[in-house]
Structure 1
Amino acid sequence: MSYPNTTETMNLLQELVSIPSPTGNTNEVITYVEKFLQELQVDTYRNRKGGLIATLPGVATSKHRMLTAHVDTLGAMVKEIKPSGRLKLDLIGGFKYNSIEGEYCEIETSSGRRFTGTILMHQTSVHVYKDAGKAERSQDNMEVRIDEVVKNAEDVRNLGIEVGDFVSFSPRVELTPSGFIKSRHLDDKASVAILLQLIKHFKLNDIELPYTTHFLISNNEEIGYGGNSNITPETVEYLAVDMGAMGDGQSTDEYTVSICVKDASGPYHYGLRKSLVKLAEEHNIDYKLDIYPYYGSDASAAIRSGHDIVHGLIGPGIDSSHAFERTHQSSIENTAKLLHHYVLSEMIR
């Protein structure tokens, strides 16, 4: 049994995380994915929200599957241009200011110009501020230092920077000799890379799928509604592919595929979960079952929007989610293997 090439997946992931795509400004990365799929002669279309749907025809057309992963990432917008020429931020997505302190960033203006900067505490200098270590990491105290000669708000506006401009964070991606990839935005570009390589594997090897299968590359997941539409009436099973959350009390790790049994939205479909576990055990795929306490997925968004579907959630284990993340190639590989067998399996009903 052959599977998608993990090295190629890791290289593709490195390219994906290097494309800025905070929620609300994802056209560049969607275009990249679109071209990747078009070169494979896969049928695609964009929905009105800017997401991308790809379809592989299957033997059965009366029942469909849908798999989804999201390319939108955490980010920010310019909230205010300060008199000092620095920028106040408003966050996009669920994360804390301390996770971006000291990070390099890029500001994109509405005209498409891009400027670099650094996200810092206003009270950074320990030689000046005695509370530098204790001051709250908050919107009031954090700011962007722009890498341009700006001495006041007027100088900043003369560059074309304005309230509402998007701010993306440097991924600082690195592949290590020991098989790790560490980077921002592995949530959820790791899963996107896995799905793209899976589609490529099916196409290049002329593998026939038992059911027509749609792949939604969503672009609004981080704000809660990326995968709640464009689900065909024939869709029976809907599987979100997103990061497995790690931490105290969690069983998920960086080396296995995580199968989520419950998150903040409630339990995932019991029958689909058991089917995924059975496939993993039959094919010697390393997996962990887990509950993510502060988490929601595109699948839970689809359920909330009223779709009558069987929903599930799996993904690679990601350390330090919504901060400086890391996973291992073995987790990528185990996730790809489970997805491979799942897409080729019979539906649970």
Structure 2
Amino acid sequence: MNQLAYLDYILDQTQKILSIDSPTGFTKNVTEYVMEEYRSLGYSPKQTIKGGILCEIGSDENSNDALCLEAHVDTLGGMVSQITETGRLILTPLGGLEPNNTESENCKIYTRSGKIYSGTMQMKNASVHVNKNYRSTAREFDTMEVVIDEKVNSKEDVLSLHIRVGDIVCFDPRTVLTESGYLKSRFLDDKVSVGILLGFAKYVKEENIKLPRKVYQYFTVFEEVGHGGSGSIPTDVTEVISVDLGCVGDGLTCTEYQVSICAKDSVGPYHYDVVSGLIEAAEHGHIDYAVDIYPHYASDVDSALTAGHEVRHGLIGPGVYATHGYERSHKDGILNTFLLLTKYLA
């Protein structure tokens, strides 16, 4: 196996997917891209009722113990909740978007008429030389606004552009891949894992891998609001592994260069046998990994169990710093996540 070739593919696909705006509820463009990429690899993906993607990448006809790998293509974003009398937009968040992480960020407003406008998220009265309370003002969605890059000075001016309450606002991901191997971007959660799973699908196809069990890949579109993995899991699936982010921060052991194996999150412990199997595969494959507990985290697999699916569950992902902000990972952590999948499944 040419590891670097698959890593290059993963990084390339991740950057392409990051360039496609796809906050929760607005994922059609990115799922169309991913569906076409599956087809180019020789697979036959199917779209779920909610708009996700399900693709079988390997089958053992004698196995009734199928496994499902999940990642999500939806990201954080905003929705227009008010149009002010001065021609600015007030947002409500889609998912766990933090207002203080959006200040001075460029964004796009997608109207239902098909027009797209640019703008910038600012705090109200944003000039330091004018606003004596600039430093002390809490950055909240009701103290911030989108300044549209059009000559608008009133609510009527904005309405004339066909901008309406309920329109989607997407933030610039600002994706950068450094020469030293760091991938920096908004929305690595969870588009880097989508790239990893596409890389694994490519590996299975090109290396003619005979998987020991049937394996599905499932890209969900509502993970950021808590019900992405709650439905559409095939009935023959007995194990689900979410490929999401490994967190990097105080009290945790994971770094940006490792694959994280999660033992417990805010919902509860992951299945003991699955976690043990992932650890064993990492050790046998001499893969750099960490085991951690994430106290403020929930995954697609959690929503699957909450919805009543009778499956064993696990969670892995590359170490990522500054989650839900301007995130950063490293190609080593991305490669280690891919390699863990190859050792655990192939």
| TM-score interval, smaller chain | over 0.9
CA contact (8 A) 2:243 2:317 kept: yes
Q: Which residue of 1 aligns with 2:309?
A: 307
Distance 1:63 1:267 in 2: 22
Distance 2:58 2:190 in 1: 25
The correspondence for 2:64, drawn from 62, 68, 74, is 62
Aligned residue type for 1:13: T
- 3-state DSSP of counterpart to 2:64: strand
The correspondence for 2:236, drawn from 225, 234, 237, is 234
Unaligned runs of at least 5 residues, structure 1: 345-349
Distance 1:96 1:230 in 2: 30
Q: Which residue of 1 aligns with 2:75?
A: 73
Distance 2:222 2:148 in 1: 28
CA contact (8 A) 1:268 1:312 kept: yes
Q: Which residue of 2 aligns with 1:152?
A: 154
Unaligned runs of at least 5 residues, structure 2: none
Distance 1:204 1:325 in 2: 31
CA contact (8 A) 1:123 1:141 kept: no
Q: Which residue of 1 aligns with 2:105?
A: 103
Residue 304 of structure 1 deviates from its aligned partner by 0.7
Distance 2:58 2:207 in 1: 15
CA contact (8 A) 1:123 1:131 kept: no
2:172 corresponds to 1:208? no
Distance 1:21 1:320 in 2: 20
CA contact (8 A) 2:77 2:97 kept: no
The 5 Å alignment of 1:8-23 reads 8-23=9-24
Distance 1:231 1:217 in 2: 11
RMSD over aligned Cα atoms: 1.0
Residue 7 of structure 1 deviates from its aligned partner by 1.7
- For normalisation by structure 1, the TM-score amounts to 0.97
Q: Which residue of 1 aligns with 2:173?
A: 171
How many residue pairs get matched? 344
Aligned residue type for 2:38: L
CA contact (8 A) 2:57 2:204 kept: no
Aligned residue type for 1:211: R
Distance 2:44 2:96 in 1: 33
- For normalisation by structure 2, the TM-score amounts to 0.98
Residue 95 of structure 1 deviates from its aligned partner by 3.1
Change (3 A) 1:334 1:153: same
Residue 123 of structure 1 deviates from its aligned partner by 2.8
Q: Which residue of 2 aligns with 1:224?
A: 226
Residue 277 of structure 1 deviates from its aligned partner by 0.4
- 3-state DSSP of counterpart to 2:274: helix
- 3-state DSSP of counterpart to 2:249: coil
Question: Per-residue displacement from partner, 1:253-274 (whole Å, max 9, x unpaired)?
Answer: 1000000000001000011101
